[in-house]
Structure 1
Amino acid sequence: MIDVKAVCDQYMQSRYLREATDEALQQRLEAIGNNLWSTGRDGEVTQPRSLDHRRGMLELYTHVLREQMERSKSGELAFDEAAVRLEASARYIRRRTVHPIAFGPDCYAKFGKKEHILLALTGKLFIQPAAKYNDPSLNAAQLDDELQHHVRSPNERLMMRLIGLDDHGNEVEVKPHWGELFRYMNVPNFYVWCCGLGYDARLFSEFEANAALVVKDKAAFEDRFARAMAEQLPDAVIGHGPIQYYDPYTTRRDQLMPAFSKNIKYLYQNEYRFIWQFQEERELKPFLVDLGPLHDIAEVVELVADE
């Protein structure tokens, strides 16, 4: 799938993880490994659906192993992708659905509690301010600071001179230890409604869900959503599209997209989102919007109870 030697040589040209702690490297391995598996139509564990995503994750995983090898001075780099996938998916429990999956892969899928999903099928959608997702009471798949993002690199630095005093009180230039340079992107609060671009049974587990709204006619849904929200928020600017996932270590600040960027640790979610932004900041509160019944363009997938 990848040329390990070429990937290692590429990493050593920048060695962008050299300032990361050993603990941070291990956490990075786990986060990348968590993106190296998906599920098939019937919930079986599979490789990631996107070959590009799989290749990118394998390259980043190899970079971490090469950094660890450099620190330990060990002479061999090898790993078993299947074993990584098995370990990363160890907690996943395959669940049966009430009815077999019959729809195609081209859909939107919103996972949640059955009572909320059944309400969504009637066209009533809950719209949240993005800031609400920075709430420690949410599960790991939901919790995220949507309004602040950063990239980091040990290969960039501010131009400066540090002057100190030597043992005799004379001014001398002090040579600093350069760490990582952080660059931030702050985003004004906005309204957002999120879903998956495609149906992935894995997300029942990740979102602690027992049902999913599957939208089979995406164009009709987008049109109804836009018209209903225009009545509620006539001065808002709507946008919708797939999330651009970024790795803080290998992404430039100017590559971040306001309201459409998420840390690469969430890549497995394959998120598609609808957003509403305003020219000036204002207080945003959650609300329900009514699109009208969605039975003609959507259906509910429900897990068998008490399995």
Structure 2
Amino acid sequence: MEDLFNLGKLRLQPASFFSRPELNQAVRDDELSLPLSFSLTKQQLKALVANPQDVPESVSEHRLDIEFSSSADFWMYCVTQSVEPRLVVDFEAEACVLVRHRDEFRKRLIESARDATSNATMREGAAIYVDPLLPKTPKIFVPLSKPFGYSYQDEYRFCWLPEPANPRLGPLDICIGSIDDIAELIVL
């Protein structure tokens, strides 16, 4: 955290990195896929299948399990939008950087990442927390979506999707310059 605060050094991690088994529970997640279950009526089911005549009349509802996945790896930089004691414990943090001027941090991050990710489309936004058993919509953008069990993390995500798509990426180290003018380093 000191290098981030004093020098502005940070790492854009590939989404594939976060599924590594050695990561702690708060960090470990399959960022490349999101399994969901939908409850379909008989009419909805008939509209989806190639053989609607074979759907039994006795079926009133049917559970449909779908895994939404990203066809390629992408880079991520995630931050929290809130200060919660649970985050310190779950992430085993020894320090944190409290950004006081979020817009300026965002601007510096995007500008500094531009060269390293020149052939990538950048997307950002608050994480969309999805109930895997009761999703509100079938329109899922995997890079910004997470199971709702992580909602306490209140994430804001910066994602870079390379073009052409790449099945496996490495990390990108970038430097946004010292952020001591827009943030505060808190050593725990």
TM-score of the two chains, using structure 2 as the length reference: 0.84
Relative to total residues, which structure has the larger strand share, 1 or 2?
Answer: 2
Where 2:73 maps in the other structure, the secondary structure is: coil
2:147 corresponds, among 260, 263, 268, to: 263
**How far apart, CA to CA, are the structure 2 residues paired with 1:125 and 1:206?**
21
Where 2:96 maps in the other structure, the secondary structure is: strand
Larger RCO of the pair (alpha carbons < 8 Å, separation 6+): 2
Q: Is the 8 A contact 1:185 1:253 kept in 2?
A: no
1:161 equivalent in structure 2: 54
Q: How does 1:26-175 map to 2 (within 5 A)?
A: 117-121=1-5, 122-156=7-41, 157=45, 158=49, 159=52, 161=54
2:65 corresponds, among 161, 182, 188, to: 182
**How far apart, CA to CA, are the structure 1 residues paired with 2:99 and 2:39?**
44
**How far apart, CA to CA, are the structure 1 residues paired with 2:19 and 2:94?**
23
Where 2:21 maps in the other structure, the secondary structure is: coil
Q: CA deviation at 1:233?
A: 1.6
Q: 1:182 to 1:289 in 2, by over 3 A?
A: same
1:298 aligned onto 2:183? yes
1:206 corresponds, among 90, 96, 114, to: 90
Alignment-mate amino acid for residue 128 of structure 1: Q
**How far apart, CA to CA, are the structure 2 residues paired with 1:153 and 1:274?**
28
Q: Is the 8 A contact 1:210 1:302 kept in 2?
A: yes
Q: CA deviation at 1:154?
A: 4.5
The count of corresponding residues between Structure 1 and Structure 2 is 175
Q: Is the 8 A contact 2:31 2:142 kept in 1?
A: no
Q: 1:184 to 1:221 in 2, by over 3 A?
A: same
- Which of the two has higher C-alpha Rg? 1
Q: 1:137 to 1:160 in 2, by over 3 A?
A: farther
Root mean square deviation of aligned Cα:
2.1
* Alignment gaps of 5+ in structure 1: 1-116, 163-172
**Percent identity for Structure 1 against Structure 2:** 28
Where 2:146 maps in the other structure, the secondary structure is: strand
Q: Is the 8 A contact 1:183 1:253 kept in 2?
A: no
Where 1:143 maps in the other structure, the secondary structure is: coil
Q: Is the 8 A contact 2:116 2:172 kept in 1?
A: no
Q: CA deviation at 1:213?
A: 1.1
Alignment-mate amino acid for residue 261 of structure 1: S
Where 2:107 maps in the other structure, the secondary structure is: helix
Q: CA deviation at 1:292?
A: 0.8
* Alignment gaps of 5+ in structure 2: none
| 1:205-259 deviation digits (Å, cap 9, x = unpaired) | 0111111111111111111111111121212111221001000122155232231
**How far apart, CA to CA, are the structure 1 residues paired with 2:96 and 2:158?**
17
Alignment-mate amino acid for residue 291 of structure 1: I
1:216 corresponds, among 100, 112, 132, to: 100
**How far apart, CA to CA, are the structure 1 residues paired with 2:67 and 2:18?**
19
Q: CA deviation at 1:273?
A: 1.1
**How far apart, CA to CA, are the structure 2 residues paired with 1:150 and 1:198?**
27
Q: 1:180 to 1:160 in 2, by over 3 A?
A: farther
2:160 equivalent in structure 1: 276
Q: CA deviation at 1:293?
A: 0.8
TM-score of the two chains, using structure 1 as the length reference: 0.53
**How far apart, CA to CA, are the structure 1 residues paired with 2:33 and 2:153?**
19
